[in-house]
């Protein structure tokens, strides 16, 4: 199930981003799919927790292919597909390696690794894909707000995911203690 949630969240992020206009909160511009991108880091951590680091990289590769195919089929420009793939590889690798190396409770590992992964995903995708360097959807003046908006949303998603995970693990421990 973890693998399915991981893969579906990635494809869903692509579809939602392509089909819905970005949210604008004052100066912040946030593609709708950002909500799902934040969740992908949580699901990826759960996959790694069960299957290990080496197998997780195989699932990341499958997710990368699915993401690229979904973007292409949705009519994204080649630059957007390339930016998405590049940001995905960098962000997922950062998340995987940080999650592996942290010696903290699982919820904190999910939170910290997801924040770093979300940071890289936001910076790379906005600069390479959306800025004048890429597809030119936003002017250079809007790039900092677009990056910051995505980072804020992804951090909130990571925080919620870590809290839910922490509560779920605490509940599981209480049940085991009673048994």
What tokens were used for 146? 């677009």
Tell whether the model's pLDDT for residue 82 goes beyond 80.
yes
Q: What percent of the chain has pLDDT over 70?
A: 99
Split at pLDDT 50, 70, 90, the class of 173 is confident
Report the C-alpha gap between 42 and 50 in whole angstroms.
Answer: 13
Report the C-alpha gap between 82 and 88 in whole angstroms.
Answer: 10
Q: Which helix (H) or strand (E) holds 25?
A: strand 23-25
Report the C-alpha gap between 37 and 121 in whole angstroms.
Answer: 9
Split at pLDDT 50, 70, 90, the class of 136 is very high
What tokens were used for 131? 């800025």
pLDDT digits (tens, 9 = 90+) for 92-116: 999 999 999 999 999 999 999 999 9
Split at pLDDT 50, 70, 90, the class of 141 is very high
Split at pLDDT 50, 70, 90, the class of 177 is confident
76 three-state secondary structure = coil
User: CB under 8 Å to 72, separation ≥6 — which residues?
Assistant: 81
- Tell me the pTM: 0.89
Provide the pLDDT for residue 29: 81
Split at pLDDT 50, 70, 90, the class of 44 is very high
133-146 mean pLDDT: 93
């Amino acid at each position: 199930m973890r693998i399915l949630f991981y893969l579906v969240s990635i494809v869903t992020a692509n579809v939602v981003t392509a089909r819905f206009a970005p949210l604008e909160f004052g100066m912040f511009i946030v593609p709708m799919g950002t909500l799902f991108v934040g969740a992908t880091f949580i699901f990826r951590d759960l996959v790694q927790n069960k299957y290990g680091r080496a197998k997780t990289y195989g699932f990341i590769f499958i997710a990368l292919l699915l993401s690229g195919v979904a973007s292409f089929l949705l009519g994204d420009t080649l630059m957007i597909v390339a930016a998405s793939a590049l940001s995905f590889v960098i962000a997922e690798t950062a998340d995987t390696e940080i999650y592996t190396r942290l010696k903290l409770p699982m919820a904190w590992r999910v939170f910290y690794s997801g924040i770093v992964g979300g940071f890289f995903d936001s910076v790379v995708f906005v600069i390479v894909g959306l800025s004048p360097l890429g597809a030119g959807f936003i002017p250079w003046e809007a790039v900092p707000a677009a990056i910051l908006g995505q980072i804020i949303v992804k951090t909130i998603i990571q925080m919620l995911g870590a809290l839910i995970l922490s509560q779920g693990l605490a509940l599981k421990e209480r049940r085991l203690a009673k048994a």
